[in-house]
Structure 1
């Protein structure tokens, strides 16, 4: 990835996503999918974070802006997958989590550092947290359909982590 050719930057792994299906309704797994949608560590937080970074970096760093824009679209696809899973598992796919008490997703879940390297560093931490969370879920959820989807999404998150790490070194 470099300033002059953002087309070299692939934003998702070149592999199909497994079909969005579940073995059957499961309120515990549904809560996990809702947390993947609207918790602090969630796809909604990443979509919002990357949207913001794409906007604020565009004037000076168009290649960074373009990369974050496209990665936010991949994260939006993940958000949609988790929403479909939550629905199939029996939950209302709103931007909330239902672990201990209902908590709605909030823009306060993300920070807005003003410095470029801090924005990228926060993105690296977000991808690492998502990988840890989804890996834990893939290892504990007994529905192989969901586990396969989680493993595929993890591959995208690992790819984003690599992109952001390289970007951090370049700026």
Structure 2
């Protein structure tokens, strides 16, 4: 069994849980940053989340942001084969949106590396950042990727009977598996 097959069969639930820990930690950083800006009233340059308070370069590193976007894209891609039916549809939506988010980060990284900025801006700027400030844009991106991921995982853990028959992993809640016990 290949690594990808193992991730989507015998280790699918563990793989999803580890992936969600990474996603939730990233979410927490963005939520702390939003709290620092809109509740504490900190200036945006000083609102760096938790890790950014100790390592400020993390917030301004386009490499770090790009690598996280890439990790998300790879994780969504590698774990997709384990999903079936409605859950797979929602997971694929998250993957498609993350693909675009990854392109935006690639654009930011390329600008940071070349010193040539989009639309005459003074700093690296993504396409949607031309209409939304960066903090708000990243909260938006994280939301529109996270929501379909959560829906996919919910549906994956509670499949219809036909979906359960096609699942190669044992992620489904025990209450969803009465037919499997009778076999």
TM-score (norm 1): 0.42
State the structure with more CA Rg: 2
Higher RCO, 1 or 2 (CA under 8 Å, sep at least 6)? 1
Structure (1/2) with the larger helix percentage: 2
In the superposition, the TM-score normalised over structure 2's length comes to: 0.39
